């Protein structure tokens, strides 16, 4: 089974991969689909937009539609995010990342010893605001929730080729563990997924967890799954949150992510 993240530059498929026959035979139940690949080809000009999601009831804004006046990244913060090569802080041995979301708060504890390269990349993404105002765009109950495409296409495009090399798998993809999505060896960028259940079958495919949810897993469980994997990753990259709020207005989202236990950092 394989979980994939998004990169238009290498133009890979978003389609669900074929089921793992061995796993299906062992479980005698349909296996979970493989998570999405790292890239989807953008829709051709003139392509009709995806059918919009159900509109929220009058007076009840969708959870994926922030209230007007919600704080966003400053121009300086966005400019900094557009230079991935400059964001090279080395993470502490252990740190907590707090995610304030539209459904509540959860905290991820990261252990650099589990996957150093992944832990460093995640540290920089959280610290410098990459995940702020981003949607949980792929939610498959009993499998995983995936996020990590920035809502501003001008920021997102800067990370398409900001790949990091792989970490050896030291921990297992168990419930609550968080891991980078990938499109194959050496292709991790910004997308991550949190396991809803025991997905240890992913370990053999090189998916290296770097942390786990230590507070608020009940919040993660409540992330809106009504759209499953309908949001098109190529369109998210090209159109950002404008596409998602129009077509999938009740997607849950990250208001702000922060490092809770920063230690003295160094620069590579």
pLDDT digits 0-9 by tens, 40-68 = 333 333 334 344 444 443 333 457 777 64
C-alpha to C-alpha distance for 97 and 132, rounded to whole angstroms: 12
Domain assignment of residue 165, yes or no: yes
| Both structure tokens of 55 | 């509109």
Quote the domain boundaries for residue 130: 79-263
Domain assignment of residue 198, yes or no: yes
- In the sheet with 253-259, reading across from the earlier edge strand, the strands are 134-135, 253-259, 94-101, 105-111, 209-215, 177-180, 192-195, 144-147, 138-140
CATH classification at residue 149: 2.40.100.10
Domain assignment of residue 67, yes or no: no
Q: Look at the alpha carbons of 93, 177, 217, 255 in this order and tell me if their dihedral is positive or negative.
A: positive
pLDDT digits 0-9 by tens, 223-249 = 999 999 999 999 999 999 999 999 999
Domain assignment of residue 10, yes or no: no
pLDDT digits 0-9 by tens, 18-46 = 223 222 222 222 334 455 444 433 333 33
Domain assignment of residue 222, yes or no: yes
pTM of this structure: 0.79
C-alpha to C-alpha distance for 51 and 246, rounded to whole angstroms: 10
Share of the chain above pLDDT 90, in %: 69
pLDDT band for position 5 (50/70/90)?
low
C-alpha to C-alpha distance for 258 and 221, rounded to whole angstroms: 21
Domain assignment of residue 19, yes or no: no
Burial of 158 (0-12, 13-18, 19+ CB in 10 A): middle
| Both structure tokens of 116 | 């150093």
C-alpha to C-alpha distance for 240 and 235, rounded to whole angstroms: 7
C-alpha to C-alpha distance for 85 and 104, rounded to whole angstroms: 32
Domain assignment of residue 41, yes or no: no
| Both structure tokens of 94 | 């252990």
Q: How many separate domains does the chain show?
A: 1
Domain assignment of residue 31, yes or no: no
């Amino acid at each position: 089974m394989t979980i994939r993240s998004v990169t238009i530059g290498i133009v890979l498929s978003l389609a669900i991969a074929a089921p793992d026959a061995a796993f299906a035979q062992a479980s005698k139940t349909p296996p979970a689909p493989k998570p999405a690949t790292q890239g989807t080809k953008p829709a051709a000009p003139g392509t009709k937009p995806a059918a919009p999601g159900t509109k929220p009831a009058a007076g009840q804004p969708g959870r994926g539609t922030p209230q007007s006046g919600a704080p966003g990244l400053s121009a300086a913060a966005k400019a900094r995010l557009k230079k991935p090569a400059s964001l090279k802080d080395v993470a502490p041995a252990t740190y907590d990342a707090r995610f304030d979301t539209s459904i509540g708060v959860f905290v991820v504890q990261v252990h650099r010893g589990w996957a150093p390269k992944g832990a460093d990349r995640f540290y920089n993404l959280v610290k410098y605001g990459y995940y702020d105002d981003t949607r949980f765009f792929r939610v498959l109950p009993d499998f995983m929730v995936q996020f990590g495409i920035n809502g501003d296409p001008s920021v997102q495009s800067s990370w398409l080729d900001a790949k990091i090399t792989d970490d050896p798998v030291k921990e297992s993809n168990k419930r609550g563990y968080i891991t980078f999505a990938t499109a194959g060896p050496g292709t991790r960028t910004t997308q991550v997924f949190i396991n809803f259940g025991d997905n240890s079958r992913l370990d053999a495919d090189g998916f290296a967890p770097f942390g786990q949810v230590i507070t608020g897993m009940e919040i993660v469980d409540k992330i809106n799954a009504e759209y499953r994997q309908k949001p098109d990753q190529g369109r998210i990259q090209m159109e950002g949150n404008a596409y998602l709020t129009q077509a999938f207005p009740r997607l849950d989202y990250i208001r702000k992510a922060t490092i809770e236990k920063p230690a003295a950092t160094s620069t590579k």
